[in-house]
Homo-oligomer: A and B are copies of this chain.
Amino acid sequence: MGEFELIRRYFKRPQNAARIGVGDDCAIFSPSPDREVCITSDLLVQDHHFLPDVSPQSLGHKALAVNLSDLAAMGAQPVGFLLSLGLPHTKEAWLEAFAKGMFALAEQHNCSLVGGDTTACPVTLINITAWGEVKKGGGILRSGAKVGNDIWVSGTVGDAALALACRKGQIHVPLQEAKACFTRMDYPTPRVDLGLALAPFINSMIDLSDGLAGDLPHILKASDCSAQIELTALPLCPALAQLNFAQRTRLAVCGGDDYELLFTAPATERPQIQQIAKQLAIPLSLVGRILPKLGAEPKLEWLENGQGSTFNFHGFQHFPEP
């Protein structure tokens, strides 16, 4: 099967994101009036981001989900995407399942594939570039956090890390409870509707792809402030909640791949935010507060029932960059 036949058979679908879609030198689109374009790109490489025996349907879902999650973190409405696919073989069953997972999520968000590239490659790799729209000036940046802001987290955190630890045999939890975590790891939900609903009320936002301890520092650096997080307030799923404090806290703080939203907002917006949580049936948890930066570098302080925690994250570096 040649490149063009592969594209025609698996990746050419009706689309409404672009005036010109798959099949020309470029796709052509216009943003809606008074809107700006948000654009993001994520590269997933076999053995680094997924194992060779991963379900191709889950992989198709996840490759798009991580991009939609970046759009969600700007408060953007997804519109379209480009897919670059490197494949060591062109097995039809694999391609069919991959396309199924990807398009199921794309259709949920009315986000269309409009172009891309395919090539042979010794390992499987997927690069998706997705774009969406925000009101002009309405995108929620990492740099907008204000001193005194509440810090919120959506859903539960540490689920994907727990699933990975279970799959590796490092932690044992009852199968029924672990199952939900496996779904969270294999089919993460980009919080698109939540990002859109929150945008008018919040100051800064990021999606949790590298975990709370990895991602919150991006907001602190960009916004030039410090923060404290109350470890006992972190929202945990039932499987995680039954582990001991050290185990569950480590997974919740350092575990990545949950694709929940972390955002900051003035305390005056609490009723609005709780209202959105209720309407969308997504738990939103108040987990900390933005503080003034006192020293040269932002500081991230961990509390345990309001007291400085002595919890040791085994040398996890919050600010590994110079």
Contacts and interface: CB of A to CB of B under 8 A. Distances in A.
A25 B206 contact: yes
A120 B48 CA distance: 7
B115 A20 contact: no
Contacts of A39: 18, 26-29, 82, 114-115, 129, 131
Contacts of A30: 31, 36-37, 136
Given A43-B86, A123-B123, A207 B25 contact: yes
A49 B119 CA distance: 9
B117 A70 contact: no
Interface string A52-88: 0000000000000000001101101000001111100
Contacts of A47: 122
Interface residues of A, number: 67
Contacts of A28: 36-39, 74, 134, 139
Contacts of A45: 86, 119-121
A4 B18 CA distance: 33
A2 to B, nearest CB: 6
A155 interface: no
A27 B40 contact: yes
A226 interface: no
Q: Which has the most chain B C-beta neighbours within 10 Å: A47, A70, A129?
A: A129
Interface string A2-46: 101100100000000011100111111111000011111111110
A142 B30 CA distance: 19
12 contacts: A8-B321, A25-B74, A25-B205, A26-B131, A26-B132, A27-B40, A31-B31, A39-B115, A39-B129, A41-B83, A41-B116, A43-B118
